[in-house]
Amino acid sequence: MTTTQTKTEFLTEAMIEQVNDRFKVDAIESGNTITPLLKYEVAKKYIKVYRLDVVNGEIRDGRSVFMFIDKETGGCYKPASWRAPAKGIRFYIESLAENPELVDQYGSFLYRR
């Protein structure tokens, strides 16, 4: 954790690192040539986690929003659009960092049941 990094950013980075490793292992074991890759960028109110596709080691053009994380509370939201989250907290980043196996490559864990 760097001195300018908040707890939420640190947990987001830790969760993304674990999930990306698992996605890569799953792709290799199943023989898939397309591997999802999660990255994030910090905005004013939210941390935007987005997904890229890696095909045979090369990152494809285009990305899609995977989820939004509130910088203050650590609440995770499903995206409603590229710029805004849907209403209602779906998870907290602490629980996703502790249990990264909950995160799937499609974002279906963010839908209400």
Domain boundaries, the chain: 7-110
- 38 DSSP β-pair partners: 51
CB-based contact 34:41 (threshold 8 Å): no
Q: What is the pLDDT of residue 2?
A: 57
Q: pLDDT by residue (tens digit) across 12-41?
A: 999 999 999 999 999 999 988 899 999 999
How far is the C-alpha of 17 from the C-alpha of 11, rounded, in Å?
A: 10
- 64 DSSP β-pair partners: 51
SS3 47: strand
pLDDT confidence band for 112 (50 / 70 / 90): confident
Q: pLDDT by residue (tens digit) across 48-102?
A: 999 999 998 899 988 999 999 999 999 999 999 999 999 999 999 999 999 999 9
pTM of the model: 0.89
